[in-house]
Amino acid sequence: MEYAFFEDQIVPVEEAKISIKTNSFHYGTCVFEGIRAYWNEEEGQLYILFAREHYQRMIDNCRAMFMELRYTVDDLINITKEILVKSQIREDVYIRPIAYFKDLALTPKLTGFTPTVAIYLYRFGRYLDTSKGARVKVSSWRRNDDNSIPSRWKVSGAYVNSALAKTEALLSGYDEAILLNQNGFVAEGSGENIFLVRNKKLITPSYSEHILEGITRAAVIKLAKNELMLEVEERPVARSELYVADEIFLTGTAAEITPVVEVDDRKINGGEVGPITRELQELYFNAVRGKIERYKGWLTPVYEK
């Protein structure tokens, strides 16, 4: 049986149901996270990747949204472990924590309400194909600005913007959308941060470019600097720079490291996955499964040994 955390208890997932009157359901005022846990077959161990970083980001975002959760980062990690153990998960799994106002009231506001947090599991498999590479399109939709709905926060209302861009890309025959910010510079994908490789240097939009502060983005920067001795530039990136990049890839918990092989019908690296992208993918996939000792600090083991 699969379990979820709902209204302060661990319950069978079928019992975790909200009312149609739930305030946050109407106004998109939920704060959520996406976390992956990876199964290591040889060790018979399930590892939660960056559990602390995800729950810290969630608690920080909740504070910004006037949601004082009753749980600390450690509490949320322990609850997640309990759900995974109780559900007997022995394969890769995606974890979705979501905080929301459970009040049955119709006012779009953030104060005077009761926040609650739910956590459930999802079988994603592959979000985007990380082996072949994606064909992407620069969206006609602009990324939501920090002064409208901050893209720095993982709030559900902001994902209307992602859904519009992703749908436009899919209906036009592409795999993913790249959104420009209100200033016309590259922000990110609908659910991923973006990296370019030029002259063996990594380039990625900085935090001031109206992007989510991606946890995978930070991990990739660390791997690039420490393992491949690459220089990393965080700065504004113009759309035209995408077309002349040697390699491009997207990063995210769900998307992992997804190579981009085409942007707006221009092939990148001749339409093949580039060598630096491949090296980073290999490092990342080994690290997240607990196969590189020095990155085991990224992981929280689920089963007691």
Residues that bind ligand PMP (CB under 6 A): 34, 162, 188, 191-193, 212, 214-217, 251-253
Distance CA 305, CA 301 (A): 9
Min separation Cβ 251 and ligand PMP, Å:
6
CB 204, min distance to ligand PMP, A:
11
CA distance 6 to 16: 6
Please say which residue, 113 or 248, places its beta carbon nearer to ligand PMP: 248
**Tokens at residue 114, please?**
């009761």
The C-alpha atoms of residue 246 and residue 258 are separated, in whole angstroms, by: 15
Helices first, then strands: H and E counts in the chain: 7, 17
- DSSP structural state of residue 155: B
Query: Catalytic site residue 154?
Result: yes
For residue 286, what are its two tokens? Answer: 């080994």
Residue from 81, 154, 200, 222 carrying the catalytic annotation: 154
Write down how long the chain is: 305
Nearest to 38 by CA among 47, 27, 29, 28: 47
Q: Rounded CA gap, 97 and 269, in Å? A: 37
In whole angstroms, how far apart are CA 219 and each of 50, 93, 167, 252, 295? Answer: 9, 20, 28, 10, 10
Identify residue 185 by its one-letter amino acid code.
F
Residue type, 140: S
272 vs 87, 133, 243, CA distance in Å? 40, 8, 15
Find out whether 39 and 293 touch, Cβ atoms under 8 Å. no
Q: Report the nearest approach of ligand PMP to the CB of residue 110 (Å).
A: 21
Report the residue number, 115 or 214, with the smaller CB distance to ligand PMP: 214
Residue type, 63: R
Residues labelled catalytic: 154
